[in-house]
Structures are given as structure tokens and as C-alpha cells.
């Protein structure tokens, strides 16, 4: 039996696996939980992040508007399923006009470290994607820090505590377009501003050994601390004659040296099979961005974008994921 290191969250969203659920990750039966039109001017609400907050949950949501402007919005929920999302995008306070200037913002992740909620997202900087970093204490007032990296970079995912005195972030160097390549790297920082010691973590798997992750991969949820290592839920992409297909996998990283991969899935753990994952603005995409965990029971609830249009919820346990991986 594997154990999650962290807090109990007995009231988090949950449904048991039933006999029709064949994969290590199973969907919430009333998916999708967030409709494309859940805010005043949204075209789609999808790759979004959720954390426990006060006596419920808070989240940062990627909403594309009806002019297809990409931005991030705050929301609150009592049960993690029904959400009240702001009609207006987040406004960041920033000491430096150069950094605070909005270009585009998408695919947020939220990570509680020590005393605040850090937000990372894909941040347009002079037209180039890089990793934006900000924080909030209350999901009402937001502060923006320096971008973590040089462009081009996407899928910046923080670790939920310092490791040997430093902050750590996974990321995926990319290009300025739809990036037909991409491996996951990890970087460290003493202060959330200066990032270095960039190490290679893991890459695509070529050939037909695990073809669903042969084009590019990118970190998804904040790594889940277990007694055996950091459990990372990520997306993997294959290029087909009909375009990219995004599926979900997981890996276990060394607790002290998180660039060392201990285990990884060869088979995907969730893939676009349901109609709302296969049809939408970008068909055939499941894109994990957040997970709630209950250390008491080992339950995990994953929030994921579906076909770049709506938000879905899926469930698994730490034991299911551990059993789905193979040693590297």
C-alpha cells in the first residue's frame, strides 16, 4: 500500500470505480462539471486548476472569450463540483510595468507553498510563450512576479514544498507555435525569481513502445508527495493524420533529486473516449492541470480540460497509479 504525504480532505469530490471503468482513472459520471458558457463572455472553460481553500475550494480557470482571447479567471466552490467563476479576468498587481503588461495567459496551475497560493501559467511576453508566476492569499488580490524562464516555455508546474531549501518547477521548453516536440525539465530557485540548475527529467518515447507519448509530453498536476516519491500526472501527445491526440500518464520522481525518474506509465491512464473529450474546439484532448488528494484514503480527484472546451473531473487512487507504472 502506498501513502500520500499530506492532509486529509474527507469531503473532496469522489465516486467509486464501477465495473464499466476499465482504466486506472475513471470519470465523474456527471461530467463535464464546467460548461463552456459558465461565464458571461466565455467560449470555453477548460485547462484549469483547483485547490482546497477555506471551507471549500478555489480555482484559477482558463477561459477563452468569444473573441478567443485567452485569459485566467478566479472561481470558488463549496463542493469542488459546482463553480462560481468570475466574469472578469484576474488583474495582477505588479511592481514592474514591463512584466505586468498582459499579452495572453493560459493553462494555469495553482500550488500552495508555505503561506500562499502560487499561480503559474503560460504567459505571452512580447508575443512569445513563457512561464508567468504570481501569488495570492485570498483569490481576490493577485501579485505578479518575474517570468520564470526565457521563452519559449509552457507547462510550468511548481512542487508543493521546498526541496533541500529551494523551490522546484517542472517545465517544457517549446516553440512559438504548436510545438511538435517536447520533454520535461526541472529547475530550482532560492527565491521564486532566479531559476537555474536546469535538469532533464524525462522525454517522449519513440517507436511503438508507448506511442501515445511519442511527440511531446508536459507536466500536468502539482506533484503529489508520496512516501515513495513525487507522483506526477502529465499529458502525452502523438501526432496523427488528424492532428495531435492528448492523453494522460503518470510518473514517480525521486523525492530528493526530482530529475530522477523511478517509475512511469507505458499505457495511458486516461484518454479522450467520451464525446465531450473527442469533440469540441480542439478534438481528442484530455489535459490534466490539478489534483485534490486525501492522505487518509489515498483518493485523488483530477481536474482536466476536455477538447479545449469544457472542464472534466476524474478519480483514481495512489495505489491505482502506483500499479499502473513500470520501473525505469
Stretch that binds ligand BMA, among 8-16, 82-90, 186-194, 282-290 (CB under 6 A): 282-290
User: Smallest distance, Å, CB 36 to ligand BMA?
Assistant: 14
- Residue labelled with grid coordinates 530528493: 256
Cell output for 35: 460548461
* Measured distance CA(157)–CA(121) in Å, rounded: 9
220 burial (CB, 10 Å; 0-12 / 13-18 / 19+) is buried
> 156 to 215, contacts with ligand BMA by CB under 6 A?
178
61 binds ligand BMA (CB under 6 A): no
Pairing outcome for strands 116-125 and 70-77: unpaired
Q: Cβ atoms within 10 A of the Cβ of 69, count?
A: 14
Piece of the chain touching ligand BMA by CB under 6 A; list 71-79, 108-116, 256-264, 279-287: 279-287
**Residue 217 binds ligand BMA, judged by CB under 6 A:** no
* 305 binds ligand BMA per the rule CB under 6 A: yes
Minimum distance from residue 138 beta carbon to ligand BMA (Å): 27
Interaction of residue 47 with ligand BMA, rule CB under 6 A? yes
CB of 94 to ligand BMA, least distance (A): 23
Nearest to 154 by CA among 182, 194, 112: 182
Is there binding between residue 308 and ligand BMA (CB under 6 A)? yes
d(CA 13, CA 312): 12
Size of the site for ligand BMA (CB under 6 A): 10
Among 282, 283, 295, 297, binds ligand BMA (CB under 6 A): 282
272 touching ligand BMA, by CB under 6 A: no
Quick one: which of 26, 106, 195, 303 contacts ligand BMA (CB under 6 A)?
106
Residue with the CB atom nearest ligand BMA in the bound state: 282
User: What residues have CB less than 8 Å from 67, skipping those under 6 apart?
Assistant: none
In the complex, what is the shortest distance from the CB of residue 122 to ligand BMA, in angstroms, rounded to a whole number?
7
Check residue 107 for interaction with ligand BMA (CB under 6 A). Answer: yes
How does 277-292 read in b/e, with b if 16+ C-beta sit within 10 Å? bbebebbbbbbbbbbb
CB of 44 to ligand BMA, least distance (A): 10
Measured from the CB atom, is 122 or 158 closer to ligand BMA? 122
Binding of ligand BMA by 246 (CB under 6 A): yes
State the nearest-atom distance from the C-beta of 46 to ligand BMA, in Å: 7
Residue 285 binds ligand BMA, judged by CB under 6 A: yes
- Report the interface residues with ligand BMA, using CB under 6 A: 47, 106-107, 178, 246, 282, 285, 287, 305, 308
Amino acid at each position: 500500500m502506498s501513502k500520500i504525504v499530506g492532509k486529509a480532505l474527507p469531503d473532496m469530490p469522489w465516486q467509486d470505480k464501477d465495473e464499466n471503468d476499465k482504466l486506472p482513472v475513471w470519470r465523474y459520471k456527471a461530467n463535464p462539471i464546467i460548461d463552456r458558457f459558465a461565464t458571461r463572455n466565455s467560449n470555453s472553460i477548460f485547462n484549469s486548476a483547483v485547490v482546497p481553500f477555506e471551507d471549500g475550494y478555489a480555482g484559477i480557470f482558463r477561459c477563452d472569450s468569444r473573441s478567443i482571447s485567452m485569459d485566467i479567471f478566479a472561481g470558488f466552490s463549496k463542493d469542488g463540483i459546482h463553480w462560481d467563476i468570475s466574469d472578469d479576468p484576474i488583474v495582477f498587481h505588479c511592481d514592474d510595468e514591463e512584466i505586468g503588461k498582459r499579452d495572453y495567459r493560459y493553462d494555469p496551475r495553482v500550488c500552495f507553498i508555505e503561506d500562499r497560493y502560487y499561480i503559474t501559467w503560460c504567459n505571452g511576453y512580447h508575443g512569445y510563450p513563457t512561464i508567468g508566476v504570481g501569488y495570492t492569499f485570498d483569490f481576490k488580490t493577485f501579485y505578479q512576479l518575474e517570468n520564470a524562464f526565457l521563452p519559449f516555455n509552457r507547462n510550468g508546474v511548481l512542487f508543493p514544498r521546498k526541496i533541500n531549501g529551494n523551490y522546484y518547477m517542472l517545465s517544457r521548453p517549446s516553440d512559438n507555435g504548436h510545438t511538435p516536440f517536447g520533454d520535461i525539465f526541472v529547475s530550482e530557485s532560492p527565491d521564486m525569481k532566479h531559476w537555474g540548475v536546469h535538469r532533464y527529467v524525462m522525454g517522449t518515447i519513440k517507436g511503438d513502445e508507448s506511442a501515445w507519448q511519442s511527440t511531446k509530453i508536459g507536466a500536468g498536476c502539482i506533484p503529489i508527495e508520496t512516501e515513495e516519491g513525487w507522483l506526477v500526472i502529465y499529458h502525452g501527445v502523438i501526432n496523427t493524420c488528424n492532428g495531435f491526440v492528448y492523453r494522460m500518464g503518470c510518473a514517480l520522481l525521486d523525492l530528493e533529486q526530482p530529475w530522477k525518474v523511478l517509475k512511469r506509465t507505458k499505457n495511458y491512464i486516461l484518454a479522450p473516449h467520451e464525446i465531450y473529450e473527442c469533440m469540441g474546439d480542439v478534438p481528442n484532448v484530455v489535459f490534466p492541470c490539478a489534483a485534490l488528494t486525501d492522505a487518509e484514503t489515498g483518493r485523488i480527484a483530477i481536474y482536466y480540460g476536455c477538447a479545449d472546451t469544457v472542464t472534466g473531473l476524474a478519480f483514481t487512487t495512489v495505489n491505482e497509479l502506483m500499479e499502473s507504472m513500470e520501473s525505469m
